Structure formats: C-alpha cells, structure tokens
Amino acid sequence: MTESQININVQLDDEKIPQGITWSATGSTAASLQQANAMFLAFWDAKDKSALRIDLWTKEMMVDEMADFYFQLFTTMADTFQRATRYESLSNDIKIFAKEFHKKFVEQEKQKN
C-alpha cells in the first residue's frame, strides 16, 4: 500500500487570523511550498454522519476572488458527485446553482459600484 501526505501550514497573526497559507503534498510535481489565499477542507465522519470542515482565508483574499473560489468549489463538487454517484441530473443541478450564484454575485457587485 502506498501512502501520501498533504501538509498545510497556516501562519496566524496575533489575533489568530490567517496571514498566509502554504501547502505541499508528497508525489506532487511542485518542488516548493504552494501558496494559497484560501482553503476549504472537508472530511466525512461516517460514525456521526456529519461533515467536518476547515475553511480559512487570508486578509489578502478579495471578495471577488472568494466568489470565484466558491463558484469553482461548487463546480468541482458537482463533478465529484457525478463521478461518485453517476447522478448526472443532480450534478447538473449543482452546476446550474453555481452559475446562478456567480451571476448574482456579479450583479450585486455592479449595484455596489
């Protein structure tokens, strides 16, 4: 059996707000630590039938970047759900939601400005 490790480092300020997020993974093609302004990590606890998650973002994460991040997360979750279940219709529903979410975000941003 092969084992792989994913290492996540979070640099916190005095108020415990993330200042920087870096990560690395064994078997990755990247030679150095990868930087990120946000992360979303989720685990399924089968015993308690609940999702456990860690979601962090740095002060540098802009609101429009957060919207793009979530759009991409929703789309990726739809693809993963489809591969795992073969429920293409439900996967498409998630993708439709993702597009509508992003469209509404863009509209709200236009109204602000």
Question: Do both 17 and 50 map to the same domain?
Answer: yes
Per-residue pLDDT, averaged over 3-11, amounts to 94
Cα 56 to Cα 30, 33, 44: the distances in Å are: 22, 17, 18
pLDDT in tens, 39-83: 999 999 999 999 999 999 999 999 999 999 999 999 999 999 999
Amino acid at 101: F
Q: How many domains in the chain?
A: 2
8 Å CB contact between 21 and 36? yes
- Domain finish residue from 38, 60, 82: 60
> Model's pTM, two decimal places?
0.88
- Least confident interval from 38-42, 82-86, 109-113: 109-113
Are 12 and 53 within one domain?
yes
Q: CA-CA distance, 10 to 29, in Å (whole number)?
A: 21
Which residues form the domain of 11? Answer: 1-60
Say if residue 49 is in the same domain as residue 78.
no
Do residues 55 and 86 both lie within one domain?
no
What's the pLDDT score for residue 30? 80
Question: Coil, helix or strand for 97?
Answer: helix
